[in-house]
Amino acid sequence: MFSSGNKINNNEILDSLTGISLGGSSYNNMSNNSISNCGNGISLFDSPNNKLENNFVSKNSEGISLSGESNGNTLINNIVILNKKLGLHIYETSNNLIYNNYFNNTVNVEPEPISRVNIWNTTKTTGTNIAGGPYLGGNLWAKPNGTVVYPEGVRDADLDGILDVRYNIEGSEFIDYLPLTESKPNTIIVSNSAGQAADFVSIQAAVDNASPGDVVIIYPGIYRENIDVPVTNLTLISASGSPADTIVKGTSSEDNVFYVTADGVTIRGFGITGPINSPMPEFVLMELSIAILRTTRYLTSIMALFQILQVAASL
């Protein structure tokens, strides 16, 4: 209370009325604290220009409360989850910078009618965010019951870990312009048909933008391309599962239709053909420990499958 320049770090606080409370205090640092089962996890009243960083605030009645003239505070890298009433309570305060936090509560933010302008994201900057993505931006928003909080159908088309639309927090006037998406295997859609929404129109473009563990789903069509696959644990599957309607035709007689140089790749459900009289096999696997090829029809040469088995046997 009524103090400045203090550090409250690396504490475990349980079963209290309030875990950390500041009143009329500024320029304090609260970091790496774990606060659970309290009435309020962290409460700031008339306390500006403090920093709350890397705190774990869980299973309290209210997670974090900013009220009165608690302006210009920074909340970054906090995990605020499973608080019973709400995650973040904002009353009257303004110009607080709130980004790269993970909110997962039944009510994540309760804005009072007289709440002022606060900032819910930083400028998009290279760096690992709280969801494991490659850019800093806004916050990661979720609900304990798994309900999707973002607008239906919203995408991360460029796979930068930031959704492509802004998020009106809890339907309020508070706006996170760079909401984060969870860092988990992405599903990437490929289609060269005008009637199917897709992330990419070519398989190679999808592979070039994929991360390890991603799943690329290819819709029916004829894809004229030669494909290099250097991404570990990537799955390439046809949407229909049928080699008859999802066909990859190599265009270069000097390249393999699929050239796989990563471990754990799955390729399933394609009809595959190379250029007529091409000396190159449809598939080549280079220095791999595991590669899975299933339900795939080789339309040009049964020798391609024989060469795959030879490579696998030699590993």
CATH number of the domain bearing residue 214? 2.160.20.10
Q: Pick from 130, 151, 176: which residue ends a domain?
A: 176
pLDDT at site 314? 43
Which amino acid is located at 239 in the chain? A
pLDDT at residue 277 greater than cutoff 50: yes
Question: Both 140 and 72 in a single domain?
Answer: yes
- Is position 2 within any domain? no
Question: Both 118 and 222 in a single domain?
Answer: no
Question: Both 106 and 238 in a single domain?
Answer: no
Question: Both 169 and 191 in a single domain?
Answer: no
Question: Both 38 and 162 in a single domain?
Answer: yes
Which whole number is the average pLDDT over 246-256?
85
Question: Both 191 and 153 in a single domain?
Answer: no
Residue 169, phi then psi, degrees to nearest 5: -65, 120
- Give pairs for 273-280: CB < 8 Å, separation 24+: 273/247, 273/248, 273/249, 273/298, 273/299, 273/300, 274/249, 274/250, 274/300, 274/301, 274/304, 275/250, 275/251, 276/300, 277/253, 278/250, 278/253, 279/253, 280/250, 280/253, 280/254, 280/255, 280/256
Question: Both 27 and 113 in a single domain?
Answer: yes
Nearest CA among 189, 105, 198, 83 for reference residue 149: 105
Domain that holds residue 199: 187-314
Question: Both 159 and 191 in a single domain?
Answer: no
Give the pLDDT confidence of 93-142 residue by residue, as tens digits: 999 999 999 999 999 998 766 667 899 999 999 999 999 889 999 999 99
Query: Per the structure, how many domains does the chain have?
Result: 2
Question: Both 141 and 278 in a single domain?
Answer: no
pLDDT at site 114? 60
Question: Both 168 and 243 in a single domain?
Answer: no
Is residue 167 within a helix (H) or strand (E), and if so which, with residue range?
strand 167-168
Confidence of residue 146 (pLDDT cuts 50, 70, 90): confident
pLDDT at residue 166 greater than cutoff 70: yes
Nearest CA among 79, 6, 93, 8 for reference residue 44: 93
Question: Both 161 and 28 in a single domain?
Answer: yes
- Is position 11 within any domain? yes
Residue 294, phi then psi, degrees to nearest 5: -135, 150
Question: Both 135 and 223 in a single domain?
Answer: no
- Is position 181 within any domain? no
Residue 204, phi then psi, degrees to nearest 5: -60, -40
pLDDT at site 98? 98
Q: Pick from 157, 176, 195: which residue ends a domain?
A: 176
- Is position 272 within any domain? yes
Q: Which two tokens stand for residue 243?
A: 């080699």
* Residue 155 CB neighbours (<10 A): 14
Q: Pick from 176, 203, 219: which residue ends a domain?
A: 176
121 touches 176 (CB < 8 A) = yes
